[in-house]
Structure 1
C-alpha cells in the first residue's frame, strides 16, 4: 500500500492511498480458498469446487467486501502511523466512474482513494499553579431555614369546607373556560381545578377576582397575559374566563412543631430543619461549583491560543445556533427583541464555539496527562440515573446506551470533565470568600452566555 501526503495546510490533511492490484489479488485468493471448503454448489462435492469457478461466481462480491474492509481499516491505521488524531471522522473520496470501479472489482487495476481530515492541534500544557480562584461561600442562616420550613408547612396545610364568601388563603375548586376575542383557546379550560387564592399560580389578577364569590357563584374574570408569558401566541393578549365556583375550603391551623414533622415521616422538627439546611446548602453548593468552574475555564481560556479544526468549530457552532433558533421560536422573539442582530449574534456564538472547542481540547489533554479516567461503576451509575428519568421506559433507555457509542459518550464526557476540573482545583490557588445568597446567585448576561452549556466543553474533544 502506498501512502502519499498531497496536502498539509495548517491542520488540514489530504492523503492519497493506493492499494496495488497485486495486494487485492492476494487478499482475494485467500478469501477464495477460505470459501472453498464452505461453499456448497450443485454438481460439486463439499470442498471440491474449483477456485476458478468460485472466482467466476463470487469474485466481484468478495472483492467488494475486501474494498469495504480496506476503507474501514485504513483511515485509522494511516492516521495513527502519522502520530496524528483526526478531529472528526475522516472523509473518503474515490472514483465515481463505474468503469473504473468495475476494473478494481475485477482485479484489473489498483484501488485508489483519498483521505481528508483535520488533525487535532498539538500544544504544550502550561503550568496552572499561578491560577487564583475565589470560591464564593454562603452561610445558611436560621432565618432562611425557618422560611423554608414555613413554606413546607404551608404546602402541607389541610383545608376544610366552609360557608360564605371566598377569602384570600382559601382553596377554591372551579371550572373555567378562557377566551380571546370571544373564542375559546387551547389550554384555557379546566374542570375541578383547585386554586389557593393568593398563591400566585394563575395569571396576575385572576385569583383576586374570585374573592367574595360563594359556592355556585359565577363570574367573568378579565385579565391580560404577561408580555413574557411562556406561550408566545398568548403573550400580552387580553382574555376573559367564565368561572364557576364549585367548592370553597378554608385553611386549618398548622403548628410548626414535632407533630407536623412526624406527619411528614420525620422524627422531629429538628430533623426537618437539618434536612432543609442540607438541601439549601446543596443548592448553594451547585451555584458555588459553577462559579468556581467558570473562573477556572476563564483562566484557562486566557492561557491558550492555538489553531482549531474548522469543522469541529463549525459543528459546535451549529449545535449552539440550532439551540438559539429553537429558543427564539418557542418564545416568539427575534434577535431585535434581544437587543442584537442576527449578524452580531452569529459572531458572538462563533466565538463561543471556538472557546468551547479550545477548552475541550485543553481539558482533554490535561486529563490524559494526569491519567484521569471514568470508571465503569461511575458510568453505570450515570446510566441508571438517566434510566430513572424515564419511568416505564428503563429497558429501552438501557438498550440505547448499550447499542449506541455516541449515547454512552454523552454520559462519559461530562463525568470526565468534572474529574479533570477536580484535578485542576487541587492544583490551583483557591480562596474562600463569604458572600450573600444574592451575590452568589447573581449572574450577568455575559456570564450566562459564556456559561450556557459550559459543562459540555469536553464533549467535542472526547468525540474526536
Structure 2
C-alpha cells in the first residue's frame, strides 16, 4: 500500500491511496471461504458450493466491499497518525472510482480531497472584556414583585370600564363580507392609535377600525383573526370588534400561598423573607446573564483577533455532498454562519489543548442529574427521585446514539474554555440599570 499527501496550499490537499493485490486479496479470499461455508444454492450441499461459482456470483461485490473498508481504515489511520487537522470529511474523487476495472488484477488507486484549517495562534493576552452588572435596588425589587403578583394573580371578568393591562374577548367582524372570529384581543398587539379606541370600554361596547392599520405586526394580526399570516394578510377594509367580556388578572396577595407557589412549601415564611429571597434570585439571574454577555463578547473578541484561513470552496462542496436537499442559495446564505461557528470551534479546541482542559464523564452525569432534579422540583418532587436519578440520567445520555452525551460534554467543555479565558482576561465591570442591561442583552 502506498499513501501520498499532495498539499496544494495551507487549506487544501489530496491524499492518494494505491492498493496492490497483496493488500486486499487475502481478505477477499477469506470472505469467499466464509460465503462458501454458508451459501445455500439449489443443487449443492451446504459447504460444497464450488469456489468458481461463489466467485462468479459474489466475487466482485466482495472485492468492492473489502476495498472500501480497507480504504476507509487506511485513510483514517493516515490522517490520525500524521495529525492532519481535517475539516469536514475527505471527499472521494468519483471519477477515480468510476475508472476502476474491477475484473483485472491490478493496483487500485483512489484520491480523496481534504480541507484543513490554516495555521493560527490564539492570543489571550491584553484581552479586555466589558461585563455589565445590575444592582438590584428597591425600585427593581418592587417592579419584580409587581410582575410576580400579576403572573400568579386571579383571572377575573369585570364589567368595565377597561383598565390598563386588561384583555378583551369578543367578536371581530368584517363590516363588508362574511369574515368573523371570536377570540382574545390584547391591546399590546395594536398600534398606538388603535389602542386609544379601547380605553374605557366595557362589555357590549363596539369599536371600528381599518384592519390593515390596526395591528402592530403581521403576527399580531394572524393571532387576533385565527388565520395563518398569509391568509390574514389578505384581509382589508373596516372591521368591528364587539366586547363580550373583559379579562383582568387581579394581583395576588403577598401571603404564604404566593410564597409557596414561587419558592416551594415552607422555603420562606414571611413577607420579609420573601423579599430577601426574591432580591437574591433576581441578583443571581442578572449575574448569570452578565456572565453570558461576557462570554458572547469573549467569542466576538477572539473571532475578530484570530485569523483562521478556511478551505471555503471545499467546505461548500462537502456541505452540498452531505446535505443533498440544500439549494445553492441556501448554501450561500447559510455558509457565513457555518464558517463563523467552525472558526469558533477551532479556537475553543486550541484553547482546550493549550490549557489542558478536560471534561470528566462524571461531570457529564452530574450535570444531567442536576437538570433532571430541577425539572422534577417544578412538580413538587424532591428527595424521593434520588434513587432513580442515575437510571434517568443514563437513559438520557445513551439516547439518540450518544448525541445527548456529546451535547452535554461539549457544553461543559465550552464552559470550561470560557472560564479559562475569563481568568486570563481583564474584565471591565460597570454597573448599569436593568433597562440598559436588557438593551445590551438584546444586541448580544
Secondary structure of the 1:90 match is: strand
In structure 2, C-alpha distance between the alignment counterparts of 1:245 and 1:275, rounded to whole Å: 41
In structure 2, C-alpha distance between the alignment counterparts of 1:442 and 1:237, rounded to whole Å: 35
In structure 1, C-alpha distance between the alignment counterparts of 2:106 and 2:251, rounded to whole Å: 92
Give unpaired runs (5+ residues) of structure 2. Answer: 221-228, 376-391
In structure 2, C-alpha distance between the alignment counterparts of 1:156 and 1:306, rounded to whole Å: 51
8 Å CA contact 1:363–1:417 kept in 2: the answer is yes
* 1:44 CA displacement: 4.0
In structure 1, C-alpha distance between the alignment counterparts of 2:352 and 2:45, rounded to whole Å: 60
Match of 2:240 among 242, 257, 277: 242
8 Å CA contact 2:17–2:71 kept in 1: the answer is no
Provide the aligned length of Structure 1 versus Structure 2: 402
Structure 1 pair 95–202 and aligned structure 2 pair: CA distance change class (3 A)? closer
**What are the equivalent positions in structure 2 for 1:155-234 lying under 5 Å apart?**
155-158=151-154, 165-168=160-163, 174-179=169-174, 182=176, 189-191=181-183, 193=184, 200=188, 202=190, 204-206=192-194, 208-211=196-199, 213-221=201-209, 224-225=213-214, 228-230=217-219
* 1:18 CA displacement: 1.4
Moved more, 136-145 or 310-319: 310-319
Secondary structure of the 1:74 match is: helix
In structure 2, C-alpha distance between the alignment counterparts of 1:122 and 1:314, rounded to whole Å: 20
8 Å CA contact 2:17–2:111 kept in 1: the answer is yes
Asked if 1:152 corresponds to 2:148, the answer is yes
Asked if 1:57 corresponds to 2:66, the answer is no
Asked if 1:140 corresponds to 2:142, the answer is no
State the Cα deviation string for residues 108-165 of structure 1 (Å, max 9, x = none). 3322211111123334454x344333432211112211121122223444466656x5
Match of 2:307 among 305, 308, 327: 305
Structure 1 pair 415–237 and aligned structure 2 pair: CA distance change class (3 A)? farther
Q: TM-score, normalised by structure 1?
A: 0.69
Give unpaired runs (5+ residues) of structure 1. Answer: 327-344, 389-394, 452-464
8 Å CA contact 1:92–1:114 kept in 2: the answer is yes
Structure 1 pair 174–376 and aligned structure 2 pair: CA distance change class (3 A)? same
**What are the equivalent positions in structure 2 for 1:97-136 lying under 5 Å apart?**
100-101=99-100, 103-104=101-102, 106-126=103-123, 128-136=124-132
In structure 1, C-alpha distance between the alignment counterparts of 2:79 and 2:301, rounded to whole Å: 33
In structure 1, C-alpha distance between the alignment counterparts of 2:351 and 2:44, rounded to whole Å: 63
Asked if 1:17 corresponds to 2:17, the answer is yes
**What are the equivalent positions in structure 2 for 1:15-414 lying under 5 Å apart?**
15-95=15-95, 100-101=99-100, 103-104=101-102, 106-126=103-123, 128-158=124-154, 165-168=160-163, 174-179=169-174, 182=176, 189-191=181-183, 193=184, 200=188, 202=190, 204-206=192-194, 208-211=196-199, 213-221=201-209, 224-225=213-214, 228-230=217-219, 240-247=238-245, 255-256=253-254, 261=259, 267-301=269-303, 303-311=305-313, 355-376=340-361, 379=364, 381=367, 402-403=399-400, 409=406, 412-414=409-411
Moved more, 285-294 or 108-117: 285-294
* 1:220 CA displacement: 3.2
In structure 2, C-alpha distance between the alignment counterparts of 1:206 and 1:113, rounded to whole Å: 70
**What are the equivalent positions in structure 2 for 1:419-430 lying under 5 Å apart?**
419-430=416-427
State the Cα deviation string for residues 58-100 of structure 1 (Å, max 9, x = none). 21121122123134323212322332121111100244786x5
Q: TM-score, normalised by structure 2?
A: 0.72
Match of 2:437 among 440, 443, 451: 440
Q: Which has the higher contact order (CA 8 A, sep 6+)?
A: 2
**What are the equivalent positions in structure 2 for 1:446-461 lying under 5 Å apart?**
448=443, 451=444
Aligned-pair RMSD on alpha carbons?
4.5
8 Å CA contact 2:169–2:247 kept in 1: the answer is no
8 Å CA contact 1:170–1:249 kept in 2: the answer is no
**Greater helix content:** 2
Asked if 1:416 corresponds to 2:406, the answer is no
8 Å CA contact 1:177–1:189 kept in 2: the answer is yes
In structure 2, C-alpha distance between the alignment counterparts of 1:238 and 1:204, rounded to whole Å: 19
8 Å CA contact 1:137–1:433 kept in 2: the answer is yes
Structure 1 pair 74–54 and aligned structure 2 pair: CA distance change class (3 A)? same
